[in-house]
Amino acid sequence: MSFFISSAHAQAAAPASGLGGDFSGLLLIAGMFILMYFMIIRPQRKRQKEQQALVEGVAKGDEVLTTGGILGKVTKVEGDYMVLEVSNNVELKFQKVSLHAVLPKGTIKAI
């Protein structure tokens, strides 16, 4: 009957792990946190600061692109809102946080 099942052999007992085993686990977790910080958290904070500076720096006369893809010229800035002139006699009011980019002067006419 032992044709299909090989004999089992006992494995030697593992040496008692002292402080080294626990420390390596802690070191691995700390390394993962540091990796996540430099790969995810730090770049995201940098993008948030750049977006905040863009929103705070918008002024009358700037040509901008919104996150919805609308191009326009800022005619008025009121607190958290900006009014864009998207065509002759057509003005739309947007939240400043919907700002995607400030374009160079003359971009709208070139399109």
Q: What are the residue boundaries of the structural domains of the chain, listed by start?
A: 20-57, 59-111
pLDDT greater than 70 at residue 5:
no
Tokens of 68: 């919805």
Please give the pLDDT value at position 64.
96
Please give the pLDDT value at position 34.
95
Q: What is the pTM of this model?
A: 0.66
What is the Cα–Cα distance from 100 to 66, expressed in whole angstroms? 5
pLDDT greater than 80 at residue 75:
yes
Please give the pLDDT value at position 22.
74
Count of positions (residues) in the chain: 111
Average pLDDT over the chain reads 88
User: To the nearest 10°, the Cα dihedral for 90, 69, 65, 111?
Assistant: -80
Q: CATH number of the domain at 59-111, please? A: 2.30.30
Q: pLDDT tier at 1 (50, 70, 90 boundaries)?
A: low
